[in-house]
Structure 1
């Protein structure tokens, strides 16, 4: 739709970016199944029974959520359960720090955030990754000055990962702006669900056309397979002629 993206960007005071996908294909060359296996080995060593969905999971972040929602279910975990959660979260965080040393920027992200900053837009990260590795990556590739804050995984409550809106709500409190005055750029349905829960319009950076269509069906204001249209829209606002 002509004018859709320029209008959305022009009307936004701030943009919230998911990290893994829009900013960097963080784990593109870093297999997550071995990370999940490390967590399952830890659980077995600590005598923690593994439900079928936990045994079957090869997604390290999904496994953290399952661990807190299906295995350690108490509102206030006891000391041993809390230690198990901390050790499991620490395994994932250590791998994220390793990935941060080698990950590369997503295509067009550098030009996009430069243009957005030139328009006076405030930029933050909302991620299921731990905030430390995200900051380490941003500083390594020179994007740290563009993003004023990072709202990553809550290590004390793993059920607050997206689609839970915790990180989005924290970003809105930090920014001090209304949800409708922001945009969230993400690549997963869980990103869209978190945005929708608090009323933030969603722009989808999908991995393929089918994923883009799904995001549009689920309510994305826009979804495509490249950040280039967003970059061009932002740059066009800087120089309308």
Structure 2
């Protein structure tokens, strides 16, 4: 069976989710206040909202539910512009990155992977520009080939949809997905990686999430980057 070192060595490129593996974007706080602001504006735009929109207390979830509502309002046609909703969420993400705490060990991991010649890309459900600002503030941006975030025109393309991973592979010149690795902290990351046929490394300090990842087929799940750094310095098994 492959060791973690084997998995890392086989990857010519490493795709990193942002919130979790790179930083703690909202400090563990609920994003219901962002969802509420989106809903307040949506009521001005559309009046009464669908129950799923009203009940949603997550900034990304509310974008998805608004997109679903827009499809229903137009009789099944997609394409209703939701720039205003995405803009509200993005504005809060800009605020969050300016005070976000770096994930312990993330800087060292990025540096080690870059020294090994791995291409590094961010694949996030956050907006790309706030992510880029964070990386620049942390003097990490130079290590990344690309920073890819959600499509502001279509929230349905956020992970677990593989769109952002597919775009990352295109940035790399469409290599074999097996030669890349996604590091993510959510089940949506795992689902997106599986859909794109990209190997996955789970990163979570939550025991329940780690167990669910393993049940869903993730072989490697770590609670810190220490075992990853150790694996990078370990000899290959074959």
Normalising by structure 2, what TM-score?
0.92
1:131 equivalent in structure 2: 128
**How far has the Cα of 1:30 moved from its partner?**
5.0
Structure 2 contact 190–200 (Cα < 8 Å) conserved: yes
Instruction: Indicate the SS of the match to 1:75.
Output: coil
**How far has the Cα of 1:228 moved from its partner?**
1.5
Q: 1:222 to 1:124 in 2, by over 3 A?
A: same
Runs of 4+ in 1 over 3 A off after TM superposition: 70-77, 235-238
Distance 2:233 2:135 in 1: 22
Structure 2 contact 21–103 (Cα < 8 Å) conserved: yes
Structure 2 contact 203–224 (Cα < 8 Å) conserved: yes
Structure 1 contact 131–150 (Cα < 8 Å) conserved: yes
Structure 2 contact 70–78 (Cα < 8 Å) conserved: no
**How far has the Cα of 1:116 moved from its partner?**
0.8
**How far has the Cα of 1:147 moved from its partner?**
1.3
Distance 1:66 1:138 in 2: 30
Q: 1:208 to 1:31 in 2, by over 3 A?
A: closer
**How far has the Cα of 1:70 moved from its partner?**
3.3
1:75 equivalent in structure 2: 77
Structure 1 contact 124–149 (Cα < 8 Å) conserved: yes
Q: For residues 184-211 of structure 1, give each alpha carbon's deviation from its aligned partner in whole angstroms, at most 9, with x where no partner exists.
A: 0000000000000010011000131221
1:206 equivalent in structure 2: 204
Q: Does 1:183 align with 2:181?
A: yes
Distance 1:207 1:70 in 2: 35
2:56 equivalent in structure 1: 57
Q: How does 1:217-228 map to 2 (within 5 A)?
A: 217-228=215-226
**How far has the Cα of 1:47 moved from its partner?**
2.9
**How far has the Cα of 1:72 moved from its partner?**
3.6
Distance 1:203 1:58 in 2: 28
Structure 1 contact 16–184 (Cα < 8 Å) conserved: yes
Distance 1:140 1:36 in 2: 27
Q: For residues 139-170 of structure 1, give each alpha carbon's deviation from its aligned partner in whole angstroms, at most 9, with x where no partner exists.
A: 00111111110110101111100001100000
Structure 2 unaligned segments of length 5 or more: list them: none
Distance 2:20 2:11 in 1: 21
**How far has the Cα of 1:31 moved from its partner?**
4.1
**How far has the Cα of 1:232 moved from its partner?**
1.7
Q: How does 1:146-185 map to 2 (within 5 A)?
A: 146-176=143-173, 177-185=175-183
Aligned-residue RMSD, C-alpha: 1.8
Normalising by structure 1, what TM-score?
0.91
Structure 1 contact 30–99 (Cα < 8 Å) conserved: no
2:36 equivalent in structure 1: 37
**How far has the Cα of 1:4 moved from its partner?**
1.4
Q: Does 1:117 align with 2:114?
A: yes
**How far has the Cα of 1:29 moved from its partner?**
5.4
Q: Does 1:105 align with 2:123?
A: no
